[in-house]
Each structure stands twice: as structure tokens, then as C-alpha cells.
Amino acid sequence: MQVSHLHGFLAAVFREELSAELLRQLRSDELRTTLAAAGAELADSLSGGSEAELLEGLAVEYAALFLGPGGHISPHESVYAEGGTGNLWGAETVAVRRFIERLGFQYDKSYSGVPDHVSVELELMSELARRESVAWKNGDKDQAANCLEYQQEFMRDHLCTWIYTFCDRVVTTAQLPFYREMARLLADFLRGEEEDIERRLVAATT
Amino acid sequence: MLNRRNFLKLGAAAATTTVAGGASLNAHAVKDLPDWGNKGFSPTTGKPRQAIPSACWQCVTRCANIGYVEDGRLVKIESNVNSIRTEGVMCAKGQGAVNHTYDPDRILYPMQRVGERGAGEWKRISWDEALDMIAARMKKNRDAGTPEKVAFHYGRMKASHSKTIGGFFKAYGTGSIGNHTALCEGGKWTAQELTWGGHYDNWDFDNTKFVLNFGSNVLETHTNHIPTAHRLLWAMAEKGVEMVTFDVRFSNTAAKSKEWVPVKSGTDGAVIAAMINVVMSEGLYKGDGEEFLKYTRVTEDVNADVPTKIAAIKAHVKDYTPDWAEKLSGVPASKITALARKFATTKPAVLVSYRGLVCHYNGNEGERLAQLLCAVTGQMDKPGTRMKAVGAGWKFPKIPKAKKVKKLDIFDGFPGQVAYPTHHVAEMVLPMIKDGRNGRPDMYVMYCWTPTYANGHVGEAIEILKDEKLMPFVVSVDPFYGDSTMYADLILPDTPFTERWTAEDMVDPAQIGEFYIRQPFTKPLGEARDFSDVVFDLAKRLGVDMGEAKSHEDFVRLACENTPGVKEAGGFEYMKKHGVWHDKNAIPQQQVYNRPVPESVYKAKGVALDEASGVYWKPASEEDTKKGYVATKGAYKKYVAQKMPHGVFSGFAPDKVNKSGYLELWSPLLKAKGFNPFPTWMPIPEHQKMGPDDLILTTFKHATQTHSRTMNCKYLAELYHTNPAWINPETAKARGIYDGDRIKVTSAIGEMVTKARVTEAIIPGVVAISHHCGHWAYGRYASGRRAPFTDEERGDRDFKFKWWTDNGVHPNWVIPNAPDPINGQQRWMDTVVKVTRV
């Protein structure tokens, strides 16, 4: 279930500006320790200053990095696609939506973003990993393999075609440690997952 | 031998047999065939794409179009084949609009500035927070009795958008509403209002036999571009109609003409004046011209007969000889004479004019001279000539104005600067705010308006907009981070036009009037909202009455349900399905001016004759009667008819100014302001004082771009993204300049560095730089601003799509804001510069 949780956590981090609730959790001893252990060098960047000031600073950083206005790092797959249009809502966006709907999932009615936003793609990965985890727990190797096939396909055809470029940009552009470290964490985690999924798939099919 | 008749006989006989009709197709079961035309199919599935009839908004022409949507994604835009305006033709700009919707730099959320103004630090806020902020300022000003300090300045706002958004601000109580028309062709409109009343001339290429063009790049760009240009091309290609184009530049329009006549910048008016001289001295006015002069005023005496009028014109133009014009314009006298004869004797012929004629100090007079040439040859307001334009007359729901509407006097230029600013003086708004004598807005809302880019003197505009003492609170309503939006305090993410509703009404060259609507191709991206919906929310917060409609879509629905013709055709549902409607039984409109007015109308109760002007009108009071028609404010709204020596006629009804119902070419209004009442050649002061090294900077537009709003469309930026300065080999050689050299262009207000394009396609003594280029914001494709996309070594996958690195230079850095003294038109073509090799 940890894989699913980490996907979900990173989806929340990149979905929108940090909420007060998430900031509080990030400042808790448990999360600070585990983040540091995972290699996220946040040091004291989330500990000093008032909560309101921290949130404001991170919101401004989030806008500068992911929203604009003006030069920003688009968090959408189609903007990066090789041979694509370089614009929002490309053919890749449609393919992501089709992939999600093929699994029977639906976009929440309240979701106003573009269908191939990084947080959507991570949320999908989180859900697939959750189902995989339940399957392992139930000893259902077939179902686990099924979930892994989907994860592998989605990473190969979508998420990993662009996410590393995206993360590299964030790492080199971010002014505050938080998004820099989260991007580094995301890239490292997905690189690991690409290998580990292969391993888990072998385990599920033998 | 069998012929068609025999085939038909055979067909009739065959009907009685059992073999007629099909056995393999179940075709009879299909009741109605789908509508012909405008179909699109998915290349992957082969299934029909959803085809949504709507309307373009890339330029003011606003052609009816069709958007093809597949999987919720707008994939293609083409023209609506059922439109009588475009007849199924569309330009590159219209097709490139898919890039607006999916511009990767679109603003999708309300954003609030957090750092220094212009520094680019922002945070996302909710719509509620944004609207509360605006409403609080508006409330504060209303409570203080200063609603006029809420200033709304738009660049493009038309038809139902104009009614709802403009209606909201007037209902709130501010009349501080600015526009951009003086930057386009407002001067042409004023000149027309001073002569034939309501502005806009339609050039009837469908019926013409000869086209005489002064400074219009009609095949590349025009306020009614495609509806006009494709008709002209058909006239030229199918009927062999000849066009002669006067221009300083060998434009694509000049290239397609029978003849390009190079003319010195700002002297077209002298050529037209000389043509009038030829017409008058050779008696070419006889016949049609004489008939038309009955409806034309060329003397102070409104009761003058035609011989007196002819004598007056002859006296006025006697010195405007072709030899005189040749000295000024460089056009051979023999050419002027020959073309004057050709224009006067080819019936019908159309006189075309645009920014090459009107964006000068003498632009108002250039256009009035053009009207006079049309009048004396009778080439006016009848098929095949220059005609009064016709648009769709929607019946829009009413939005009641506030009891008192107040306004800041900052939209019409400095006191005494402009005689008749009937389309305002956009270029002077920021300088007037800086000056402060007429007050300053507490809140300045920019809607589709980029004052730092669209006006002259860019550097000054940026300084003013950045100065929080001059501009305490700036709101930008924009789908994109434009060259002015970057200096806002608050950004409301507007929808691009592909996500909007509008009831549209642009001029119809068929002279009938086409009703058409814009409807969204797709849902707004992110949290973008059409500002014409946002004003309904603001109205609720402020307790402002918006009338019957509850949203902009509702407003469009009501317009469709209430407008005669559209209503009977099926109203809103019909328009959503077809996009366009026109009255198929309508007769193209022409020659309204010579319709006799019955006595029952002009002798009705409340109607009085103003002897000085010959105008029958409805004075509101005894006092107005005493003041007379011309001196009474807004009297033109009370116009009924015009008394002429040969009867009472509907005439050329006035609009915006108190002119008579004649085609008024002797203008008491201009006389009152110290100008010659007759259309007159006026030298351009700056050009009189030019030194031997000086050149005239002239500007132009390219077919695939609008002035400022399309460079973010990647497809269009690929086609045109840089704008080297055109310079004649002779002029270049004298300065040691070779093709491709970097050159410095210096004017009285600044300098810019660009590249030289040495070409014979421009006359000597001029340097020509197009608009469109040199954005410093407006997204990656327009500006080339890569930050934070600086990762070149590892390859910018998204930026690879932008294969060009030269984004050109914007000429407005060196062009001062300089209004035409009569109408306020920004003088884009008058700037004197020095050009040197860098």
C-alpha cells in the first residue's frame, strides 16, 4: 500500500497549492523524518516562520512553477509529447482520458483541470497500486498482475514519456527547496518503480 | 439520338415497372437527409466529428465558422458554407484559432499579483476572492459618488458582448469606457460621419467594373476581410475586373492589382484632389455626377442648385491640378489624369480607401476627398460602387442604465486636441491619466486591451501602467499573459472566443444583413470564464439590475427569440443548429438617400424645419429650436428628413454629429472648428520639415496576423514571426545598408534595432515595418520568452516546436502617440526617422 500512498501524496503535492492541513502534516516529526530518509533535503525549510507566511511563499512558488501567468513549467503531458502539438489538449490528452475511462474510472465532475495534468496521472497510478496491494493481500496474483500490467502500460505510454523532463525543470528552476525536493523525489520514485514493477510482475506471473 | 428529354421520357415509363427503386439500400426508411456541407470525419475511426456552427473572433470581421470536436477536443476550424458573408471562405487566422484554445501559456485561474507590479510574481486566488475584491472597489466608489473612477477600457468588444459588458458598467453608473478604434481606422469613420452619416463603406465587388484603391491592403487585411477579399478576387479572376492600387509599398494587394502606383507617403489625398480637378475641368461629372450632386452639400447655402454646386467645386479644386499633385506625390500627372477619366467613365466603379490614406495628419481630409470624388462621378451608394454598409439588426434585451452615469474625460484627447473624436482617442488615454488634470481612475479594467503594445510610445505606456500612484488598481481580463496583462494587479482568466456565446452582426457585403451566433466549441478550460458571464455575477454582488437575462447565453437566447426573422426561423434552437440566418427574400439595400419622405412624416407634430441646415428634426424644447439643429447637443438623434430644392428626402441620415441630411462635403461643423469646410489638401507638418537624411516610417499588416492578438497561435507564428524593415535599394545604398544588415531606426522619442530587408517593393524615402511582432510577453510562441525553459543542452521537448528564434521588433517603441487633429486617428504613417547601419 506504500506505493499507492506515495503516488497519492505526490499527486496532492502537485495538484494545487499546499493546504494548511498538508503543511502541518509535512511539519510533523514522522513525515519530516521519513522524507529525509527518502532523500528529500527539506532541512528546516518548512519549520521556520509562521504557517501563513510559509503557505503564501509556497503558493507564489507553485504559481510561478506550474500555473503562470507567463513562463512556467507546464504540468501537462501533451505539451511535452514527441511529435505532438506542443499545446494543451493534444491527442495525448485524449489518449490519457481514454485510458482512464477504459478502466471504468471517471473524472470527478468538480475537476476543472486538463485531463493529462501530472496530478491526474499520479492519482491513477495510486489507484492502480492500491488495487495491486489489495490483490497481493488477498493472494490474488492474477489480479495483482492485471494491476501491474496497467501500471506498466501507463508509465511506458504516458507518465514516463515526459515526467522526467518535467521534474528536471522543476529541480533546476524552483526557488524554494520544497518543490525542488518533491520533484527530485518524484523522479527517483518513478525510476525505482519502473524497475520494481518489472520485478513484481515476474513475481505475480510465476 | 437520345437527348435529355428522351431520357426523362424513359424514366417516366420505367416508373411503372417493378424494377424502379432500390433493393439493396434501405434508403426509403431515412426520412431527412443530413444537411449538406461542413462535415468532418475522424481519421482514426472514420466517424463524423461533432460539427459546431459558431463565429470567429480572430479579427473584427468575425466570420461564421464551424468547429470540429472529437473526444472533447477542438481539432479543426473551417468556414460555415451557409454564410452569405463568407460564402464558405476562411483565412489562415481563423483556422489557426485552435491554438488559442490550447495555448500552453493560457491563464486558467484568477491570479493576484504579490510582488512589484510587472515583476511577475503571482498567486492563484478563487473567483469569489477576485470578484469580492473588484466589487469592494466598485462599491467604495459608488458610495463616494465617484463611479466614474471605475474605468473600463476594451480593445475588442462587439455585438451582444458589448451590450452585456458595456451595459453592466453603465448600469453601475460609470461612463468611463474606452475603446481602441482610433488605433485602427476611427478616423475613416469620423470622416464618413461628417459626410454621409453612419460609418462604414461596403465595396460592392460583386457588381463593380473597376476598382481604384488608395492605401488599402484589402486582400491581406481589412475590417471585413474575407467577405470582402474573396469577392474582389472573384471579380478579378472571373470577370477580369481591374484594380489599380496606390501604395508606398508593393503589398500583396498591389501585386495582385492590374497596376501598382507608387505614391509618396501621405500624399494620396493630393492625388484624389487632382482627380476631382480632372473630373470637373473635363466635364466628367455630367450625368450621374450631376444627379448625385442634388443630394450633396458643397456650399454654405443648403438650397443651392446643381450649377451653383458645380461652380463651387470647380472653384475649390482649380489649383489641385495633376501637375501640382505630381510634384507632391511623385505620381505622373498623365497617370492621374488617365485614372481620373477611367474612374469617372467606367460605370460602376468603386473607390477603396484605408489606413494608407487615413492614418495620417491629413487622413480625415483624404477620406473626405475620396467621398467628393465618388460624389462628382456619381460612383456612390449604388451597386458596384462604395455603398453604405448593412449589418444585422438584433433586438437585444435591455439593460437599464443607472439614473446617473458619470465619466472621466480622459478618452477624447486633451482639450482642443481633437475636433470630433467620435470614436475616441485611445492613444491619448494613458498620457491623460499621467497628466491627471481630468482625473484618474481608481480602478482600470483592461478587456482584450493591451495599451502597452497597441498604442504608440511603448516605453511611456509601460511606465504609466507600472506606476501605482497613477494607476492604483489595474485589472486585466485576458485568456493570455499579454504585454499589458503582466502589469496588472489582478488577472481574470477570460475564455478565448472558442468557448463563448455571442449574437453577432458584422457588415454583410451582400447588403442584406446576416444574423449569426457564436457558441462554445468546448467547455472553458480550467476555471476560465467569459467576462460577459462574470459581469452578471458582479451585478449580483453590487445590486445592479441586468434586465431579463441571467447569463450571456441567456442574453443570446433572448436575442434569438425576440429578433424578427430569426424568431420565426426557429429562434435559438435554429441558430444553435445552423449558426447563420438571413432573410432569403430580402432585396439588397441601396440608395436610401433619394427616397422621398411623405408630408405626413415631416409635417407631423413635433417636427420642425431648421432653415440653416434644411433639416427636419424633432427639437426637444423651445430652447433647442432657438439654438438650431447644428448647435444643439445630440440633435442628430432627432433627425427626420432633409429638405432639398427638389423635394424632401430621407437623405444621408446623420450619426454621432449634427450634420445635415445631404452628403455633406461643405461642413459647417469643420468650419466651426477652424478647418476648411471643403475637403482640402493638408500638408503633414512633420514631413514639411524633414532633413535630407530623414525617412518616413510607415507600418503595415500581414495576412496571417492581426495587429496584436494572434502571435500566440503557433500555426500562425510559424508562418510569420519576424518583421525586417523594408527599405529601397537606393535609400539603403545612401546609408551603406545591405540586405540583412542590422539597422537602427531613431525617432524623436526613441530608437530600435532591427534588420533591413532591401527591396524594390518599397518606394525610396520610406522605411516600412509591420505590426504583429516583437512581443515581450504573450506566451512562448509570441515572445520567445524561454524562462524557465532554459534547458537547451538536454533538449526542450516542448520548445522544439518553436523552431524559430527571431521574434521580430515592435515598431511602436519609436512611434509617438499623435492624433489626427480632426478625428483623433493615431497617425501610424507619419513618423519621421533616421535609419543607420549598426
A88 and B797 in contact by Cβ < 8 A?
Answer: no
Question: Within the 785-804 window of chain B, which residues sit less than 8 Å (CB to CB) from chain A?
Answer: 785-791, 794, 797-802
Has residue B288 been placed in a domain? yes
**Cell of residue B382, nine digits:** 449604388
For the cut 90, the answer to whether the pLDDT of residue B6 exceeds it is: no
> What's the total number of domains in chain B?
5
The candidate with the shortest Cα–Cα distance to B60, out of B161, B170, B192, B150, is: B161
Q: What is the DSSP letter of B632?
A: S
Structural domain boundaries, residue B524? 49-101+498-528+548-584
Contacting residues of B for A68, CB less than 8 Å apart: 105, 107, 111, 122, 481
Query: What CA–CA distance (Å, rounded) separates B97 from B66?
Result: 12
Q: How far is A146 from chain B (nearest CA, A)?
A: 27
Q: What is the pLDDT of residue A86?
A: 81
Give the Å distances, CA to CA, from B90 to B58, B75, B267: 11, 16, 34
Which of B102, B123, B480 faces A60 most closely, judged by CB atoms?
B123
In the three-class reduction of DSSP (H, G, I as helix; E, B as strand; rest coil), residue B759 is classed as: coil
Answer yes or no: are the C-beta atoms of B682 and B830 closer than 8 Å: no
Q: Are residues B568 and B613 located together in one domain of the fold?
A: no
pLDDT digits (tens, 9 = 90+) for A110-121: 898 999 999 999
Is B326 in the same domain as B226?
A: yes
Question: At residue B91, does pLDDT exceed 80?
Answer: yes
Residue B267 and residue B232 share a domain: yes
Q: Does any domain span residue B24?
A: no
- Tell me if A87 and B103 make a contact (CB, 8 A cut-off): yes
B 800-829 residues with CB below 8 A of A? 800-802
Residue in the structure block whose three cell numbers are 477624447: B412
- Residue B796 confidence class, pLDDT cut points 50, 70, 90: very low
Looking at the domain assignment, is residue B7 inside a domain? Answer: no
A69 vs B72, B485, B714: nearest CB = B485
Q: What is the mean pLDDT of residues B313-331?
A: 98
pLDDT at residue B788 greater than cutoff 70: no
Interchain contact, A64 vs B121, CB within 8 Å: yes
In a domain, B593, yes or no: no
SS3 readout for B537-548? HHHHHHCCCCCC
Confidence of residue B795 (pLDDT cuts 50, 70, 90): very low
Contact A67 B111 (CB under 8 A): yes
Q: Are B422 and B190 in contact (CB under 8 A)?
A: yes
Report the SS3 class of residue B425: coil
* Chain A residue whose CA is closest to B482: A70
pLDDT, tens digit (0-9, with 9 covering 90-100), for B646-668: 999 999 999 999 999 999 999 99
Higher pLDDT, A39 or B756: B756
pLDDT digits (tens, 9 = 90+) for B804-823: 889 999 999 999 999 999 99
- B147-186 per-residue burial string, b: 16 or more CB within 10 A, e: under 16: bbbbbbbbbbbebbbbbbbbbbbbbbbbbbbbbbbbbbbb
Mean pLDDT of all residues in B611-634:
96
Average pLDDT value over all residues in chain B: 94
What is the SS3 string spanning A80-134?
CCCCCCCCCCCHHHHHHHHHHHHCCCCCCCCCCCCCCEHHHHHHHHHHHHHHHHH
Q: What are residue B743's DSSP bridge partners?
A: B754, B837
Q: Which residue of A has its CA nearest to B113?
A: A60
B297 and B357 co-located in one domain: yes
- B784 — pLDDT class (breaks 50, 70, 90): confident
Any CB–CB contact under 8 A between B219 and chain A?
A: no
Comparing C-alpha atoms, which of B513, B667, B585, B717 is closest to residue B100? Answer: B717
The per-residue pLDDT for B790 is 42
Tens-digit pLDDT profile for residues B394-408:
999 999 999 999 999
Q: Are strands B177-178 and B150-154 parallel, antiparallel or unpaired?
A: parallel
How many CB atoms sit inside 10 A of residue B144's CB? 10
Please check whether residues B179 and B241 belong to one and the same domain: no
| B338, burial (CB in 10 Å: exposed 0-12, middle 13-18, buried 19+) | middle
- Please report the pLDDT score of residue B786 as a whole number: 56
DSSP string, B457-496: -HHHHHHHHH-TTT-S-EEEEESB--TTGGG-SEEEEPPP
Quick one: pLDDT at residue B792? Answer: 46
Widest Cα–Cα separation across chain B = 93
Strands (E), B711-807: 725-727, 742-747, 750-758, 766-770
- Give me the residues paired with residue B79 across strands: B65
B677, B660 contact by CB (below 8 A) = no
- Tens-digit pLDDT profile for residues A67-113: 989 888 999 999 888 877 788 999 999 999 999 999 999 999 889 89
* Residue B143: Cβ-neighbour burial (10 angstroms; 0-12, 13-18, 19+): exposed
Q: How far apart are the first and last CA of chain B?
A: 80
Share of chain B above pLDDT 70, in %: 94
Q: Is the pLDDT of residue B1 over 90?
A: no
Q: Which of B560, B584, B608 is the last residue of a domain?
A: B584
In this structure, are B384 and B417 located in the same domain? no
User: B450 near B441, Cβ under 8 Å?
Assistant: no
The predicted pLDDT at position A37 comes to: 86
Q: Quick one: pLDDT band at residue A1, thresholds 50, 70, 90?
A: confident
| Residue carrying C-alpha cell 476581410 | B225
What's residue B161's pLDDT? 98
B821 and B718 in a common domain:
yes
Same domain for B212 and B263, yes or no, is yes
B394 in a structural domain = no
What pLDDT is recorded for position B688?
96
Report the CATH number that the domain containing residue B437 is assigned in CATH. 3.40.50.740
Q: Which of B455, B456, B408 is nearest to B435 (CA)?
A: B408
Q: What is the pLDDT of residues B460-516, one digit of tens each?
A: 999 999 999 999 999 999 999 999 999 999 999 999 999 999 999 999 999 999 999
Out of A16, A63, A79, the one facing B798 most closely (by C-beta) is A79
| Lowest-pLDDT range of A149-163, B125-139, B784-798 | B784-798
The alpha-carbon gap from B69 to the nearest alpha carbon of chain A, in Å, equals 12
Determine contact: A171 vs chain B, CB below 8 A: no
Q: How far apart are CA B167 and CA B171, in angstroms?
A: 6
Angstroms from A204 CA to nearest CA on chain B: 35
Kind and range of the H or E run holding B649? strand B647-649
Mutate to test the interface with A, among B100, B124, B446 (most CBs of A within 10 A): B124
The whole-number pLDDT of residue B787 equals 42
Question: Does the pLDDT value for residue B740 go beyond 80?
Answer: yes
Taking CA–CA distances from A95, the nearest residue in chain B reads: B71
Contacts of B245 (CB under 8 A, 6+ apart): B213, B216, B251, B253, B254, B257, B259, B260, B261
pLDDT at B28 over 80: no
- Residue numbers in A near B790 (CB within 8 A): 172
Which residue pairs, CB below 8 angstroms and at least 24 apart, start in B730-737? B730/B764, B731/B695, B731/B764, B731/B765, B731/B766, B731/B767, B731/B835, B732/B756, B732/B758, B735/B835, B735/B836, B735/B837, B736/B837, B737/B835, B737/B837
Contact B111 A114 (CB under 8 A): no
Render B320-343 in DSSP notation, one character per residue. Answer: --HHHHHHHH---HHHHHHHHHHH
Are B655 and B727 in the same domain?
Answer: no
Residue B22 has pLDDT above 90, yes or no: no
pLDDT over 80 (residue B2): no
Q: What is the CATH classification number for the domain harbouring B211?
A: 3.40.228.10
Count of helix runs (H) and strand runs (E) in chain B:
31, 31
Categorize the per-residue pLDDT at B43 as very low, low, confident or very high, splitting at 50, 70 and 90.
confident
Q: By the 8 A CB rule, do B356 and B268 touch?
A: yes
Q: What is the DSSP letter of B295?
A: T
ipTM of the complex: 0.85
- In a mutational test of the A interface, the residue from B122, B127, B783 whose CB has the highest number of chain A CBs within 10 Å is B122
Q: Residue B720 — very low, low, confident or very high, per pLDDT cuts 50/70/90? A: very high
Domain boundary residue among B626, B643, B671?
Answer: B671
Using the predicted structure, report yes or no on whether residue B10 has a pLDDT greater than 90.
no
Residue A3 CA from chain centroid, whole number: 11
CA distance B789 to chain A (A): 8
Query: Which domains does chain A carry?
Result: 2-205 (1.10.3480.10)
**Contact yes or no for B106 and A88 at CB 8 A:** yes
The answer to the question of residue B282 being in a domain is: yes
Q: Percent of chain B, pLDDT > 90?
A: 89
> Which domain CATH number covers B717?
2.40.40.20
Q: Which residues of B touch A168 (CB under 8 A)?
A: 791, 794
Q: Considering the domain boundaries, does residue B271 fall inside one?
A: yes
Phi, psi (5° rounding) for residue B534? Answer: -60, -35
Kindly report which listed range (A151-165, B8-22, B378-392) carries the lowest average pLDDT score: B8-22
Residue type (1 letter), B63: C
Q: Say if residue B440 is in the same domain as residue B451.
A: yes
- pLDDT tens digits for range B411-451: 999 999 999 999 999 999 999 999 999 999 999 999 999 99
Note whether B486 contacts A: Cβ–Cβ < 8 A.
yes
Question: Is B626 in the same domain as B709?
Answer: no
User: CA nearest B75: which of B657, B508, B498, B670?
Assistant: B498
Query: Per-residue pLDDT tens for B539-574?
Result: 999 999 999 999 999 999 999 999 999 999 999 999
Residues B778, B160, B413, B471, CA torsion sign? negative
Closest chain A CA to residue B109: A67
Residues 106..165 of A with a Cβ closer than 8 Å to B: which? 112-114, 162, 165
Question: Of B388, B418, B440, which marks where a domain is finished?
Answer: B388
CB contact under 8 Å between B104 and A86, yes or no, is yes
Contacts of A79 in chain B (CB under 8 A): 104, 798
Could you give the CA distance from residue B452 to residue B482 in angstroms, rounded to a whole number?
A: 10
**Interface probe, candidates A15, A87, A172, chain B, greatest B C-beta count within 10 A:** A87
Which DSSP symbol is given to B351? Answer: E
Choice among A32-46, A85-99, B182-196, B742-756 with the minimum mean pLDDT: A32-46
Contacts of B475 in chain A (CB under 8 A): none
Please indicate, yes or no, whether residues B696 and B566 belong to a single structural domain of this protein.
no
Residue B609 φ then ψ, to 5°: -95, 125
Q: Identify whether B396 is part of a domain.
A: no
Interface test with B, best of A89, A101, A166 (most B CBs within 10 A): A89
Per the CB < 8 Å rule, is A63 touching B123?
yes
Q: What is the pLDDT of residue B360?
A: 98
> In degrees to the nearest 10, what's the CA dihedral of A147, A151, A152, A158?
150
* C-alpha dist (Å) from residue B462 to A137, B117, B450: 64, 11, 11
Q: Give pLDDT, residue B794.
A: 39
**DSSP 8-state assignment for residue B426:** G
Nearest to B124 among A67, A162, A168 (CB): A67
Cβ–Cβ gap B114/A80 under 8 Å:
no
Give the residue from B665, B663, B38, B580 showing the smallest Cα distance to B300.
B665
Closest partner CB to B102 (pick from A71, A82, A89)? A89
What pLDDT was estimated at residue B26?
67
Q: Is B127 in the A-facing interface, judged by CB distances under 8 Å?
A: no
Residue A45: predicted pLDDT: 82
Whether the per-residue pLDDT at B18 is higher than 60: the answer is no
Min Cα distance B786 → chain A (Å) is 7
Residue type at B483?
D
